[in-house]
């Protein structure tokens, strides 16, 4: 016995069911086309796209005609490529307290330099115009080197009159003990350092950078006799006496240079 499928009766339940299924397939194809076209043109809004077919069906199964706006994305030229770029990685600046430097001073201990990294990007272009760039894998080629800056933390109060007097007495004693300078030599030394610093161990020349009782230029020269050269009168006097003895022989020799040139 053989069977053949007869065409559905016009207006019957079978015809309505077949029409509904055909329209459902069509609507789903249209929904897929909308998604693909919108991705290409970067103009698609996703609200309701997944429910297009369901919105066109009534609850009793009958089909509903819904107008679909035309999609014109066929002319868009979409290109997605992967590119690699070399980027600069900024270095940090680290400040460290320096108890041997005056407040307000700064000194670069270590110079800084930026690093280098390679970054892979996924780039999307539409009609030759870049519309999106998404970073992917990154590789650090050269790490950055931090810059280290020493910031002065030393506060030195100005010498008082009492301290100046004490410094002068100390200088007279050290000149005698270390080099045997008394009498005229002491008088020359006294006049020289009165003129230079007033026997103040905190005296500083803002224009030249000379510092201390003997006005060493720069003041850091005195560090050969002690790291406390900025605050210790004895360290300053010891350096000053040695400088005078090595360059002029005696304090009166240094005083003669000072009176002629206004420096020694």
Could you read off the pLDDT of 191-227 as tens digits, one per residue?
999 999 999 999 999 889 999 999 999 999 999 999 9
Whether residue 210 contacts residue 218, with contact meaning beta carbons closer than 8 Å, is answered with yes
Answer whether residue 29 is part of any domain. yes
Residues 82 and 72 in one domain: no
Answer yes or no: do 111 and 186 share one domain: no
> In the structure, what pLDDT confidence band is assigned to residue 243 with cuts at 50, 70 and 90?
very high
Task: Give the residue, 83 or 48, on which the prediction is more confident.
Answer: 83
End-to-end CA distance of the chain: 134
pLDDT of amino acid 2: 41
- 82 and 70 share one domain: no
* Contact between 96 and 148 (Cβ < 8 Å): yes
Assess whether 142 and 175 both reside in one domain: no
70 and 84 in a single domain? The answer is: no
Res. 26: pLDDT tops 50: no
Q: Is residue 1 in a domain?
A: no
Same domain assignment for residues 150 and 179? no
Asked whether residue 61 falls in the same domain as residue 146, the answer is no
Are 130 and 211 in a shared domain?
no
Residues 187 and 255 in one domain: yes
- Residue 4: inside a domain, yes or no? no
pLDDT of amino acid 103: 87
Tell me the pLDDT band of 21, cut-offs 50, 70 and 90. Answer: low
Q: What is the pLDDT of residue 155?
A: 87
Is the same domain home to 248 and 190? yes
166-195 per-position pLDDT tens digit: 999 999 999 999 999 999 999 999 999 999
Tens of pLDDT, residue by residue over 55-91, are 444 444 454 454 544 545 456 899 999 999 999 999 9
pLDDT of the residue at 241: 98
Reported as a pLDDT band with limits 50, 70 and 90, residue 42 is very low
Of 99, 123, 154, the one marking the end of a domain is 154
Range of the domain at 249: 161-261
Q: Same domain, yes or no, for 47 and 85?
A: no
Q: What percent of the chain clears pLDDT 90, i.e. is strictly above it?
A: 66
How many domains, the chain?
Answer: 3
Domain assignment present for 244: yes
Instruction: Report the pLDDT value the prediction gives residue 61, as an integer from 0 to 100.
Output: 47
């Amino acid at each position: 016995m053989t069977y053949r499928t007869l065409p559905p009766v016009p207006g019957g339940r079978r015809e309505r069911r077949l029409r509904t299924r055909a329209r459902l397939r069509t609507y789903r194809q249209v929904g897929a086309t909308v998604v693909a076209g919108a991705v290409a043109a970067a103009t698609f809004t996703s609200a309701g796209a997944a429910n297009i077919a369901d919105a066109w069906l009534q609850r009793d199964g009958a089909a509903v005609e819904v107008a679909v706006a035309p999609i014109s994305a066929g002319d868009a030229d979409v290109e997605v490529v992967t590119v690699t770029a070399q980027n600069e990685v900024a270095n940090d600046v680290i400040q460290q307290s320096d108890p041997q430097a005056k407040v307000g001073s700064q000194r670069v201990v270590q110079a800084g330099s930026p690093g280098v990294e390679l970054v892979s990007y996924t780039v999307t272009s539409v009609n030759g115009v870049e519309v999106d760039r998404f970073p992917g894998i990154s590789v650090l080629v050269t790490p950055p080197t931090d810059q280290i800056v020493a910031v002065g933390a030393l506060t030195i109060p100005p010498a008082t009159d009492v301290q100046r007097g004490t410094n002068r007495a100390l200088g007279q004693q050290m000149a005698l003990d270390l080099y045997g300078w008394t009498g005229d030599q002491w008088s020359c030394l006294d006049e020289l350092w009165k003129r230079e610093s007033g026997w103040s161990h905190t005296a500083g020349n803002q224009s030249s950078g000379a510092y201390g009782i003997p006005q060493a230029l720069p003041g850091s020269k005195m560090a050969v006799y002690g790291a406390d050269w900025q605050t210790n009168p004895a360290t300053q006097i010891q350096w000053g006496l040695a400088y005078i003895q090595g360059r002029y022989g005696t304090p009166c020799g240094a005083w003669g240079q000072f009176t002629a040139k206004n420096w020694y």
